[in-house]
Amino acid sequence: MSEKKRSDLFYRIPILTVSVLLVAAFIFLGAYQPLRWIFTAATAGIAALALFEYYVLVRQKGFSPAYTIGVVTAVLYIFAIFFKTQGPHPHWDSLWQKMPEIILTIGFFSCFVRYAWSGKDPIINIATSFLGIVYLAVPFGLVVRIMYFFMFEGASDPYFQGSWWIIYLIAVTKAADMGGYFIGRTAGRRKLAFKISPNKTLEGALGGLVASILLSLLICYLGKRFGQVFIGFTYLSSIVLGLLIGFFGQMGDLAESLLKRDANVKDSNTLPGVGGILDMTDSILFTAPVVYIFLRVLYA
């Protein structure tokens, strides 16, 4: 293994370990009524930082995205999703349930007003500004939906099912990332998408799929054996969902690589070994919708 690879692993492993511990703490503490705000605020904060990094990439292209409108819209949207999951408001039930869509609409038209006023390349700047909101705020909003999917009318989730599904989402997604990384580094020969990400290989992609499927099966087995979690989650469905997460997670990684290559930058930020917040969450942006749709189908 080259010195560069050793250095990369030296930074990557401890940072990922600390990140996993912090994320796990947020996830399980966030299931309790007084601390749900903390989980939602942390999710909104991560989304805001990732969106800021995306807008920095856009700036590298010479465009002028609406930083403030985008970040404020993203944060308000995620909190609106949170309020919606906590049950109807006693006075504004109908309006409250539609608040996420209302916030997206206001953000969309605010972009038009912003560039109608400045007159600076409105088509490209409106498009890139709102793309960031859809690309980041909507998937992070789905993370909140998954977290509180098993709470009805604001009631508690006694078996922490939402927390365990978030753990499942992150673990299986990252299994695909790490499986692809290690298999690609050790056995990768055939380039997968050279123009987008030169280091990605077909062997690494297949290794990532196998890793995500195996971990999905393991979590399904443990859930059935030791608790009231993952009820109705069969071994066959765990294979299918693991395969989908492995595929879409790697597509999310390639999608961010496409944006970075277009902006001619290597990392979205400068955190040692991992790049930036956008680099750490890119795959989850594509897998969170998959898990949420699966839950809607499974528990319909």
**pLDDT tens, 106-163?**
999 999 999 998 878 899 999 999 999 999 999 999 999 999 998 865 567 777 888 9
pLDDT for residue 209: 94
Instruction: Give the number of domains in the chain.
Output: 2
**8 and 38 housed in the same domain:** no
Residue 59 bridge partners (DSSP) = none
pLDDT for residue 212: 96
**pLDDT tens, 51-63?**
999 999 999 999 9
The terminus-to-terminus CA distance of the chain in angstroms comes to 49
**39 and 23 housed in the same domain:** no
Question: Domain boundary at 129, 155, 181, which?
Answer: 155
Question: Domain boundary at 97, 120, 155, which?
Answer: 155
pLDDT for residue 167: 93
Contact between residue 201 and residue 192 where contact means Cβ atoms under 8 Å apart? yes
**86 and 124 housed in the same domain:** yes
pLDDT for residue 93: 62
**272 and 293 housed in the same domain:** yes
Mean pLDDT of the chain: 85
Q: How confident is the model at residue 16 (pLDDT cuts 50, 70, 90)?
A: low
**24 and 143 housed in the same domain:** no
**282 and 147 housed in the same domain:** no
**pLDDT tens, 217-254?**
999 999 888 777 888 899 999 999 999 999 999 999 99
pLDDT for residue 173: 95
**235 and 142 housed in the same domain:** no
Task: Name the residue range of residue 123's domain.
Answer: 34-155
**167 and 299 housed in the same domain:** yes
**145 and 284 housed in the same domain:** no
271 Cβ contact partners less than 8 Å away, ≥ 6 residues apart: 15, 277, 279, 280
What is the phi/psi pair of residue 275, to 5°? 90, -95
Query: With 90 as the cut, is the pLDDT of residue 24 above it?
Result: no
Question: Domain boundary at 110, 135, 155, which?
Answer: 155
**176 and 219 housed in the same domain:** yes
**pLDDT tens, 174-211?**
999 888 878 877 776 677 665 677 677 888 889 999 99
**61 and 150 housed in the same domain:** yes
**190 and 300 housed in the same domain:** yes
pTM over 0.85: yes
